[in-house]
Chains A and B, each alone.
Chain A
Amino acid sequence: MNAITATEFAPPAATSGPRSKALIAGVVGLAATGAGFAMDHHHFYQAYLIAYVFWASVALGSLGLMMLHHLSRGAWGLVIRRQLEAASATIPFLAVAFIPIALGMSDLYHWTDTAAVAADPILSMKAPYLNREFFLLRNVFYFLVWGVLAWRIRALSAEQDRTGDAKLFTRLQGWSAIGFLLLALTMTFASVDWVMSLDPHWFSSLYGLWFFAGTGLSALTFTILVANWLAEREPMNKVFVRSHFHDYGKLLFAFTMLWAYLSFSQMLLIWSGNLPEEITFYLPRMRGAWTAASVFLLLGHFILPFLILLSASLKQRRKRLMKVAAWLLCMRWFDIYWNVVPTLQAHHGEFHPFAGIWIDLAAVIGLGGVWIWIFWGLLAKRPLLPVNDPYLAETLGYE
């Protein structure tokens, strides 16, 4: 393999195509979400929270995978590193996009109701943690940690592109080691704050890990979709080979199983314990109107992709793998929907799994459109390969 230059791997001009499409989808989606706000602002906040958690999980998962790649030095990571870097660089946008959730706190989170908290001994006990000020402060802290990590690792990687200094390799690993630990902790707390505290009485010690596995899966599916797009065009079509996609397929398989393992473990523990304060999460989901949605989640998020991904030849076929990834990305959204909506509906005691779902869909498309628009912009700014990485030559000869 000849010397690899940055200009050779400049992003294709065609990136502007999906970028503008994403912006159109974003504007239309957000306009529809705005209409949803005018009609039913409770539903708007629910829809926005789901969409927000979904896209944040893609960005945070990318940050996690990027650090995992620096730590493990797997050949799979180098060719998608720029994608992961671009996705994690969207964190400042996510910080801004959090504002509607902060504004809608009273609508979303029961623990913001001071009168109800005062009347409830359990919520009073939790009030030193679950209160407006501390909630906002924690979220500011999360975004600071994530933003600094993403920015630092991206900056070091950019410096490696320019200078090729061998020391940067170990510095990237050092940042990733500390960063991964910080990410795991902050994401655990964030998942409790954003989703678990929707029902402030309920608790599950597995929740953070479940969320962590989910972000990995979201990020990986999104990465496969973008990698598939890049693999069809100059210059990355010379780089991506069958075995790269085989690796992503294997990782996708592993993350699908990890998600299922953790989701199921949570359910099994609660089922075995059978304690009144814990089963409140599963009762509305395993009975009545939500039963079918739960079965669909089990089939669509685990059993179907598990059976499909068992095949080694499918994992090597880019197009087919892309379809599985696209399906799983949709299921990631549905998983978050399934985690959020019944809890919110339980406050009124009425369960309608898909009532007004158009607002939820509009929100996820709208926020996602804008997010993807920013993502493509960041991706198009730099060469698509870390041209000075010491392992690059080895990766390009990867068979």
Chain B
Amino acid sequence: MSHGHELETSGRLYGLMAEFEDPNTLVEATSKAYERGHRKMDAYAPFPIEELAEALGSHHSRLPLMVLVGGIIGCLAGFGMQYWVNVIEYPMNIAGRPFNSWPMFIPVTFEMTILFSALTAVFGMFALCGLPTPYHPVFNNPRFSAASQDRYFLCIEADDPHFDRDETHQFLASLGPTEVTEVDH
């Protein structure tokens, strides 16, 4: 881990990581980086910070739309399944009600809608977050374990269109971090 830095300084750079001592500086730094045009970046903190998501510019998630589509599929599948069984495949006269006894189908349809929405929400969230991720380059920074304790990190990735090794380094250093580190793949 620690020697990776020396071995691959000229190799594949993942990004530049700045370490901060308090959440406010991190949010401020993130907003400034966003204003400067950086998009491929991520911020890390030991606890959820609401303002951080906004500072990162992640207003719109595709997840709600995915859940809606999942819900609609569940709804149609639930109703369709019962309709197929009760009207087409195995029609039975139950107390003289119509085969398409739709009020009786609603509870199952509802449950299927919820089930499909919930599963889409969970697995969609995994997919959008890129989980599971067994390897992530940010851990190549030996200091990074503090991100789950008492330190706050901002990492601007090397494939960001506005990334420039020296300029970005200077920019991050100007935001009041305790340290700016190069992180390799």
A312 touches B106 (CB 8 A): no
Bound Cα distance A268, B101 (Å): 10
Contacts of B97 in A (CB 8 A): 271, 274
Bound Cα distance A267, B96 (Å): 17
Chain B residues proximal to chain A, CB less than 8 Å: 64, 68, 95-97, 101, 103-104, 106-107
A sample of 11 more A-B contacts (CB under 8 A), given A268-B103, A268-B106, is A264-B103, A264-B106, A267-B103, A268-B104, A268-B107, A271-B97, A271-B101, A271-B104, A272-B104, A274-B97, A312-B64
A310 touches B103 (CB 8 A): no
Contacts of A312 in B (CB 8 A): 64
Contacts of A264 in B (CB 8 A): 103, 106
Contacts of B103 in A (CB 8 A): 264, 267-268, 271
Contacts of A274 in B (CB 8 A): 95-97
Closest residue to B107 on the A side, CB-wise?
Answer: A268
Binary flags per residue of A147-172, CB closer than 8 Å to B gives 1, else 0: 00000000000000000000000000
Binary flags per residue of A271-295, CB closer than 8 Å to B gives 1, else 0: 1101000000000000000000000
Interface centre among B68, B101, B103, B107, by most A CB within 10 Å?
B103
Min distance, Cβ B55 to any Cβ of chain A, angstroms: 15
Contacts of B104 in A (CB 8 A): 268, 271-272
Binary flags per residue of A281-320, CB closer than 8 Å to B gives 1, else 0: 0000000000000000000000000000010100000000
Bound Cα distance A268, B107 (Å): 9
Contacts of B101 in A (CB 8 A): 271
The answer to whether residues A310 and B107 also contact, given A274-B95, A274-B97 and a CB cut-off of 8 A, is: no
What are 17 sample pairs from A and B whose C-beta atoms fall under 8 A apart?
Answer: A264-B103, A264-B106, A267-B103, A268-B103, A268-B104, A268-B106, A268-B107, A271-B97, A271-B101, A271-B103, A271-B104, A272-B104, A274-B95, A274-B96, A274-B97, A310-B68, A312-B64
Binary flags per residue of A246-273, CB closer than 8 Å to B gives 1, else 0: 0000000000000000001001100110
Closest residue to B101 on the A side, CB-wise?
Answer: A271
Chain A residues proximal to chain B, CB less than 8 Å: 264, 267-268, 271-272, 274, 310, 312
The 9 A-B pairs with the shortest beta carbon distances in the complex, nearest first, are A271-B103, A268-B103, A274-B95, A267-B103, A264-B106, A272-B104, A268-B106, A271-B104, A312-B64
Min distance, Cβ A296 to any Cβ of chain B, angstroms: 17
Min distance, Cβ A367 to any Cβ of chain B, angstroms: 35
Contacts of A271 in B (CB 8 A): 97, 101, 103-104
Closest residue to B71 on the A side, CB-wise?
Answer: A310
Contacts of B68 in A (CB 8 A): 310
Min distance, Cβ B142 to any Cβ of chain A, angstroms: 37
Contacts of B95 in A (CB 8 A): 274
Closest residue to A307 on the B side, CB-wise?
Answer: B68
Contacts of B96 in A (CB 8 A): 274
Closest residue to A282 on the B side, CB-wise?
Answer: B103
Contacts of A310 in B (CB 8 A): 68
Contacts of B64 in A (CB 8 A): 312
Bound Cα distance A42, B95 (Å): 39
Closest residue to B96 on the A side, CB-wise?
Answer: A274
Bound Cα distance A268, B108 (Å): 13
Contacts of B107 in A (CB 8 A): 268
Bound Cα distance A274, B94 (Å): 11
Bound Cα distance A94, B106 (Å): 38
Contacts of A267 in B (CB 8 A): 103
Min distance, Cβ B118 to any Cβ of chain A, angstroms: 15
Min distance, Cβ A297 to any Cβ of chain B, angstroms: 15
Contacts of B106 in A (CB 8 A): 264, 268
Contacts of A268 in B (CB 8 A): 103-104, 106-107
Min distance, Cβ B18 to any Cβ of chain A, angstroms: 27
Bound Cα distance A312, B107 (Å): 26
Min distance, Cβ B120 to any Cβ of chain A, angstroms: 14
Bound Cα distance A264, B104 (Å): 11
Min distance, Cβ B169 to any Cβ of chain A, angstroms: 34
Contacts of A272 in B (CB 8 A): 104
Closest residue to A311 on the B side, CB-wise?
Answer: B64
Closest residue to B97 on the A side, CB-wise?
Answer: A274
Min distance, Cβ A210 to any Cβ of chain B, angstroms: 16
